[in-house]
Amino acid sequence: MSRVLFVVPPLTGHVNPAVGVAGELAARGHEVAIAGHAAVIGHLIPPGLTVYPLPDLADDADREAVVARSRGLRGPASLKFLWEEFLLPLNTAMIPAIERIVEEFRPDALVADQQAIGAALVARRRGLHWATLATTSAELDDPYGVLAGLGQWVRGLLSDFQAAHGLSGPAADAVDLRFSDELVIVFSVPDLLRRPESPGSPESSESSDESVTPRNAVFVGSAAQGLRVAGIPFPWEWLDPRRAAVLVSLGTVTREAGGRFLRAAAEGLLTLTDRVQAIVVAPPGLIDDLHAPDDLLIASSVPQIELMGRLSAVVCHAGNNTVCEALTHGLPLVVAPVRDDQPVIAEQVVRTGAGVRIKFGRAGAHHVRAAVSAVLDDPTHRVAAARLRDAFRNAGGVAAAADHVEKLVT
């Protein structure tokens, strides 16, 4: 059996897929550990998995200040903030800790989240087998479009980052730390990409109309069946089988700033109570005044994966995990992307016909009502979602991801 170290950033959407693959490998008898920021992700790690803490960059107040500064940013400004204010400081700080963890744990392979470039750098410096865990397919689907210069800027940052930490010259330019040269595990399916048949690599593709899928990428579908912390209650008896259940969720980061959108979604769906029951995931007190006990359920959290099988549609921010979980069940989507990779994932949904897009910042109740009615009434959306459901189910999920990691270390 082998020893495998996973490294994750302090973001829920990146932690759950890693936990799923780690749990699968542990169940097969491998020795597995996860390195992450315990103050943020500790509650997401099930008992039985070894956790190595990474240093926190800031206390709760400082973290909230960073989040607050980022909320109003969109497009290139958002991407620059992500790299300069969050990812580069985060990864610079983790390098010494990852070095110590590697010395102690002695992994046969390191699996680094695509944003854990500090861990990828340590693997390169030490000559370790390493795999990239891509918890979103956005970086493989022409994320910069006509803004080719922005893609070059990111690659330049990564080259400079490597050079600053001991990998200079040709070595720094040879590998993009977002893409392992051995294995890239992508939680999505190629059917969602613009040009799924296109070969090439992130380094060689400069066209704005081609996929930039690395040749060593494997698509494993959704992480929905992975190991998760259990115990989120839900009033299953509340669901009315005569009506369509529609989930509204903005994920764990966006929802705090999404009060206006969540209210608009709830109000729009409350005009469809003859045919729809709405489940809205919202922080306590945000929209609690919209009291409609038979037609609207407001909860701070729900067992989303278990709930998917009881839904008819999903309204979300186009977070990759939620989109993939919905499509694994053949559910059409209404997507309202906010920033980061979400516009790319939203475009994938619309491009494949599996849903419709509305504007997060401008959507009113009537927009949400019209969009949900469209995905419920127009059969083309459900047919497209069903086609993608088959692709996701055939991809293999966390079991397939674990298979590929095992091949890396044997």
Read off the DSSP letter of residue 83: I
CB neighbours (10 Å) of residue 283? 15
Question: What is the predicted pLDDT for the residue at 33?
Answer: 96
- Could you identify the residue written with the tokens 């020795």? 31
Low-confidence residues in the chain, pLDDT < 50: 146, 196-211, 255
The domains found in the chain, sorted by start residue, are: 3-219 (3.40.50.2000), 236-393 (3.40.50.2000)
Question: What is the predicted pLDDT for the residue at 232?
Answer: 87
Read off the DSSP letter of residue 115: T
Give residue 293's region: left, alpha or beta (phi > 0; psi -120 to 50). Answer: alpha
Question: What is the predicted pLDDT for the residue at 152?
Answer: 85
Give the C-alpha separation, 206 to 210, whole Å. Answer: 8
- Could you identify the residue written with the tokens 């009502």? 369
Tens of pLDDT, residue by residue over 251-277, are 765 545 688 999 999 999 999 999 999
The answer to whether residues 278 and 269 touch, using CB atoms and an 8 Å cutoff, is yes
Question: What is the predicted pLDDT for the residue at 202?
Answer: 41
Residue 268, both tokens: 């729009």
Question: What is the predicted pLDDT for the residue at 207?
Answer: 40
Nearest partner of 190 among 156, 215, 224, 166, judged by Cα:
215
Question: What is the predicted pLDDT for the residue at 61?
Answer: 57
Give the up-direction half-sphere exposure of residue 296: CA atoms within 13 A in the CB hemisphere. 23
What's the whole-model pTM score?
0.89
Question: What is the predicted pLDDT for the residue at 276?
Answer: 98
Backbone angles phi, psi at 193, to 5 degrees: -80, 160
Question: What is the predicted pLDDT for the residue at 123?
Answer: 96
Distances (CA, A) of 92 to 87, 311, 406: 8, 42, 29
Question: What is the predicted pLDDT for the residue at 144?
Answer: 66
First to last CA, the chain: 9
